[in-house]
Structure 1
Amino acid sequence: MIGPLAIAAHVLSLVVAVWAFVEFFRQREPSRPLFIGLWAVEALVAVQVVALVVGLADGSRPTGGDMVTLIGYLLTAVLLPPAGIVLARMEPTRWGSLLIGAAAVIVPVLILRLGQIWNG
C-alpha cells in the first residue's frame, strides 16, 4: 500500500461524496465536474490497486487476511466508481447525484480495508 496515495484517495473521495450529497439535497442532477471528480477518485484507486498487484507479483503476500478477501476488495475498489458513474448516467436526476455520493463514500472504506488486509 502506498500511504500518501491512500490518504489522497480518502480525502478526494470524501470531498466528492460531500459534493454529491449537497447536489442531491439541492435537488440537482449530477454535473459534468461531479463525474470528473469520481473519475479522479477512480484514477487514484487504480494506481493503488496496480501497486498492490505489483506487490503480489513480486511475491509479497497479505499479512492480515487471506488472498481471496484481498482480491475481492481489489476488484470492488476498482469497479465501484465506474459502476457509480454508469448508474448515475442512467439516472440523470437528483438520484444520480446520490448514486455518485454513495459510490464515493464507500471507496475510503474499501481502501482502508485493503490496507488492513495487506499490512495486518
Structure 2
Amino acid sequence: MATIVVALLLAAWYFLRSALDRAPSRPDLLAMSALSALVTVLIVVAVIGLFDGTRPSDTATFCGYLITTVCFAPAATWMAKLEPTRWGSLILGVGAIVLPVLVLRLQQIAAVTGA
C-alpha cells in the first residue's frame, strides 16, 4: 500500500511540475530512485512468496509483471535524464502513475490464485 500511495503522490508532483513548465530537478530524480527502492523491496517480498509454497497459477505472467514493475521506475528516471525539459517531468509522472497499476495487478494475480 505504501508503494501505491508514494507513487501517486509523486505522480501528482511530477504532473504539476510539468504543467508549470519545470524540468526535473535532482531531488525529483532522487525521489523516483527512492520509489524504485521501495518497489524493489516489494518485488523481493513477492519473489520470496514464490518460494514459500504459494505459487500463482500463471507463474509466467506473474514473473513478467515482477520484471516490468522492477524495471519501470529506473527506465523512467533514465529517460527523464535524457530529456531535461518539462517533458522529463511528464515522463517521471507517467512512470509514477503506471507503477500503482502494476502493483495492483500483481496483487490481483496473487489474490486470485491464493498467494
Please indicate the TM-score interval, normalised by the length of the shorter structure. Answer: over 0.9
Percent same amino acid at aligned positions?
Answer: 46
Map of 2:105 onto structure 1? 113
Matches within 5 A, 1:47-66: 47-62=41-56, 65-66=57-58
Map of 1:90 onto structure 2? 82
Alignment-mate amino acid for residue 58 of structure 1: D
- Structure 1 segments, 4+ long, off by >3 Å, are none
List alignment gaps of at least 5 residues for structure 1: 1-6
1:39 is displaced (CA, Å) by: 1.1
Aligned length: 112
List alignment gaps of at least 5 residues for structure 2: none
Map of 1:46 onto structure 2? 40
1:60-111 deviation per Cα after TM superposition (whole angstroms, max 9, x unaligned): 202xx51111011101100000000000000011100000000000000000
Matches within 5 A, 1:23-34: 23-34=17-28
Cα distance in 1, alignment partners of residues 18 and 101 from structure 2? 22
Which of 91, 94, 102 lines up with 1:99 in the alignment?
91
TM-score relative to the length of structure 1: 0.90
Cα RMSD (Å) of the superposition? 0.9
Map of 1:72 onto structure 2? 64
